[in-house]
Chain A
Amino acid sequence: MSVHSVKEILASIQKGETTAADWVKTSLDAIEKIDGELKSFLTVTADHATDLADKKPTGPLGGVPYALKDNMVTEGIRSTAASRILENYVPPYNATVENKLRSAGGVLVGKTNMDEFAMGSSTETSAFQKTLNPYGRGHVPGGSSGGSAAAVAAGLVPFALGSDTGGSIRQPAAFCGVFGLKPTYGRVSRYGLMAFASSLDQIGPFTRTAEDAAIVMNAISGYDERDSTSAKVGTEDFTADLNKGVKGLRIGIVRNLTEEGLNPAIKAAVDGAIRALQGAGAEVVEVDLPHSEYAVATYYLIAPAEASSNLARYDGVRYGRRAEASSMIDLFEQSRSQGFGMEVKRRIIIGTYALSSGYYDAYYKRAQQMRTLIRQDYETAFESCDVIVMPTTPTTAFKLGEKADDPLEMYLNDMYTIPANLAGIPGASIPCGFVDGLPVGLQILAKPFDERTILRVSHAYEQLRDFSWPKPELGVAE
């Protein structure tokens, strides 16, 4: 078994050397071999995948296996968001991304583990299992899309989709040493994505390369009338600018970036990546993001407020877990209490509190005002640069259990990723080194709808990087 990119798989099938069935078998065998310990999948759709592959699917992703985070609904395939309340939920319809990937010829091999309802930064709040980091068994894969990141990093699938509300694609991509892209808000339809914080949620790909991410983006992006917040922008070819290089491109670095808690070795790796890009002809300019220090506080009022409203639908009535109860109110309260884990309850309580009478102005409205200032910071910064780069995370993957009892400490791990969601802009994390055997991510941010420049810089950087890349402890051999 060996690890291949989406591009290589497509080329091999097109040349007639291999078939979809071969690649699906490779993927299922790898899952069988590795995932008993890695635990990145909640559901493996072996029969579905084998049947689909036998039909020799064609299209821009014809025959390529992939995995979906388990908060994206799949018709006839259990979709749980890693929550007890949806433990036996089998959706009657497909998310738009699943329909799009299917019609592009992709083959779903399974649904991946995640923090419950995407609330967490370590995948430890999953009600079902803990996913390990492929580069260090004792470490978390990051979250909330930890299963998708780990599955790609371990070579079980060439790509997977995740969702990013405050860093849930970029942070696990950084922790697991893969490429992860959060597109612009509205770029990819959220229809069929179980809502966490609707003004922040966005679906995006995990891949091994920037080029693969561009190929996947071509398949999943676009306006969808079933998501009223999806952006009415034309389709485009995300691979178009990949080979344009970085000569003359203006790379913004943040003056006075908050460095509290930033591992100096991560800073050194990021500085090395910036020098490499500079060496290839990019121009480095300094920008200011004066309100960055308020991003975490802003996010942890807005996201729980939206979540408390979105999760009101899980009441034990029409679907999901129902508790024994003698009255309606009791049925709501007991079903929700038994069905939700502690992190979900914590956020529902914070959100309900922030929205409750007497506190709305002090918390929720103030957070929304700060959101305006943060968004304006980025607008101003992008007047003088094409991309902004910074570390994706202040630390490498922390140890399992290390932050599980301190929610605030866990939240602060998202300080570099949260602003992109508040501002709605696209951002990626690309591996830029290893510290003590664990991957480090470089975050690249751009203007709204300018994913192509992020992919261009990322592709250029992939040709420049020269650090030694250890084999994952858990994974298919390279």
Chain B
Amino acid sequence: MKITEETVSHVARLARLAMPESERQVLAPQLSDILEYAEKLQEVDMTDVIPTSHPFRQTNVLRDDVVRPSLPHDKALLNAPDSDAGQVRVPAVLEGGGDA
């Protein structure tokens, strides 16, 4: 599978990564190599093999809905790059452009 710079650019957008051309140029051939190596998996017939998403069977874990202490508000905001009145502050979501 040949990965082009355009593909890298598209996937970077999906992953919310700004990616300068210099990085796309490095990544495209490296990703081609890695995915070409991954083609090995096509050699094996796995038609009826059930996929494994976890080493052991996982079941949903529930607890009783009991109120108990959690991280205090002020502590949770300690690492926020910008906050105001007990809230995390961010640039306007709807104004100022963006392609969302």
Contact = CB atoms under 8 A, between A and B. Distances in A.
Given A199-B55, A317-B90, A370-B46, A337 B26 contact: no
Contacts of A316: 81
Contacts of A229: 54, 58
Interface residues of A, number: 72
Contacts of B76: 92
Interface in B4-55: 7-8, 11-12, 14-20, 23, 26-27, 30-31, 33-35, 37-38, 40-42, 44, 46, 49-55
A349 B91 contact: no
Contacts of A185: 55-56
A423 B55 contact: yes
A426 to B, nearest CB: 11
Contacts of A424: 54-56
Q: Secondary structure at chain A's binding surface: helix, strand, loop or mixed?
A: helix
A411 B38 CA distance: 12
B40 A294 contact: yes
A353 B31 contact: yes
Interface stretch (A9-17, A328-336, A432-440): A328-336
B55 A317 contact: no
Contacts, number: 179
Nearest to B59: A228
Interface residues of B, number: 57
A368 interface: yes
A280 interface: no
B55 A367 contact: no
Given A90-B78, A349-B31, A325 B91 contact: yes
B84 interface: no
Nearest to B33: A408
A186 B56 contact: yes
A2 interface: no
Interface of A: 89-93, 185-186, 199, 225, 228-229, 231, 291, 293-294, 296-298, 300-301, 308, 312, 315-322, 325-334, 336-337, 340, 342, 345-346, 348-350, 352-353, 356, 362-363, 365-373, 375, 407-408, 411, 422-425, 448
